Amino acid sequence: MDVLVTISLDHDMLAPIEARHVVTAHSGHGPMDRDTLVSLIGDKEGLLCTITDRVDESLLKRANRLRVVANYGVGYDNIHLEACTKRGIAVSNTPDVLTDATADLTFALILAVARRVVEGDNMVRQKGFQAWTPFGFLGTEVSGKTLGIIGLGRIGKAVARRAKGFGMAVLYYQRSRLSPEEEEALCVEYADLYDLLGQSDFVSLHVPLTDKTRHLIGRRELDHMRPTAFLINTSRGPVVDEEALVEALEKGTISGAGLDVYEKEPEVHPGLLGKENTVLLPHMGSATMETRKKMAQRAIQNLLLGLEEKRPPDCLNWEQLKGQKIP
Ligand code: DGY
């Protein structure tokens, strides 16, 4: 079958796909540009794509032979799932394998923004380390503080486990509450969104991007946060109204923000760039060699099984596809 791979993978990684299928693979470090994707999709039965490729109606209209979409990434807001299901296309993502890497980076952001790590590094490089002083680079203690986690899925739970090591109290908010046993095991306490915002020293976002979570954190929610608190986002940029965030940082409504994702990614709001109370990363939550390799292996496994019409382990729409007559 004909397969399009929009990321540049090592030869060893591509080999199992090439052994069974005719592969067109992207080369080069950047993402495959939209026009190339659109021009190549027409005769493909399989697509291994990344979170920057939009698999939307306009692409699907040209993808008459497409049967399988394997997303290299856990978030799949880049894919119009219902439109794929309607066309009989199996869609999968790469959960689990990036949980720890993303939770680690969440803590890197918490520590960096609270302890002014990037500011300190910049000063040493640009002006030199003049002298230790009792009042130099005073930050905010992380240990023993309250962490509010919005979205206690796999990554949110991994963040909660790390917070325990820092002696933090953990509040969480999501639509469905965990069982009392699970809450006890994770040492987390359920709170209503606005209670969580008002009580947390750090608010960390771990929800997928959906119509319901877009701008979940806006002006009103930021106003509920403490002026000493920090907002951390390693989920998806549009979960936060960036305009409102810039305003909150300027007015001192909150103390700072640690961001790995942006509303109009890869664009970063210019109002964020000059602020010392922000730490800004280029969407690198899952960027460890070990995790990226596992993501590739998982996406390839999903792709190959899907093309054999077997259930990919991470299929997102298998039940809906079952029984549906594939045109
Ligand atoms: C994902 O997988 O959704 C991350 O944002 C990138 O690895």
- The angle that helices 99-114 and 154-165 make with each other, rounded to 10 degrees, is 50
Residues 88, 117, single domain; the answer is no
Distances (CA, A) of 133 to 125, 127, 137: 18, 16, 9
- 3 state DSSP class of 244: helix
Residues 155, 136, single domain; the answer is yes
Mean pLDDT of the chain: 96
The answer to whether 291 and 94 have CB atoms below 8 angstroms apart is no
Q: Is any atom of ligand 1 closer than 6 Å to the C-beta of 95?
A: no
Q: Is any atom of ligand 1 closer than 6 Å to the C-beta of 46?
A: no
The residue whose CA has the least distance to atom 4 of ligand 1 is 73
What is the CB neighbour count within 10 angstroms for residue 21? Answer: 18
Is 163 within the bounds of a domain? Answer: yes
Could you tell me the CATH number of the domain that includes residue 38? 3.40.50.720
Q: By CB neighbour count within 10 A (0-12 exposed, 13-18 middle, 19+ buried), where does 206 fall? A: buried
Q: 285 C-alpha vs ligand 1 centroid, how far in Å?
A: 7
Residues 190, 204, single domain; the answer is yes
Report how far residue 148's alpha carbon sits from residue 136's, in angstroms, rounded to the nearest whole number: 28
State both tokens at 165. 């090591």
**Number of domains composing the chain:** 2
Query: For 157-213, what is each residue's pLDDT tens digit?
Result: 999 999 999 999 999 999 999 999 999 999 999 999 999 999 999 999 999 999 999
Catalytic residue among 206, 236, 242, 298: 236
Residues 106, 129, single domain; the answer is yes
Residues 271, 300, single domain; the answer is no
What pLDDT does 151 receive?
Answer: 98
**pTM for the model:** 0.96
Residues 53, 140, single domain; the answer is no
Q: Is any atom of ligand 1 closer than 6 Å to the C-beta of 151?
A: no
Q: Is any atom of ligand 1 closer than 6 Å to the C-beta of 73?
A: yes
Residue of 284, 286, 290 with the most ligand 1 atoms within 8 Å of its CB, for mutation: 286
Residues 267, 303, single domain; the answer is no
Q: Is 175 a catalytic residue?
A: no
Is 36 within the bounds of a domain? Answer: yes
Containing structural domain, residue 248? 99-280
Q: Is any atom of ligand 1 closer than 6 Å to the C-beta of 286?
A: yes
Residues 234, 113, single domain; the answer is yes
Amino acid identity for residue 71 in this structure: N
Query: For 128-171, what is each residue's pLDDT tens digit?
Result: 999 999 999 999 999 999 999 999 999 999 999 999 999 999 99
Report how far residue 327's alpha carbon sits from residue 320's, in angstroms, rounded to the nearest whole number: 15
Query: For 275-289, what is each residue's pLDDT tens digit?
Result: 999 999 999 999 999
Is 116 within the bounds of a domain? Answer: yes
The residue whose CA has the least distance to atom 2 of ligand 1 is 73
Q: Which residues contact 139 (CB under 8 A, 6 or more apart)?
A: 114, 115, 116
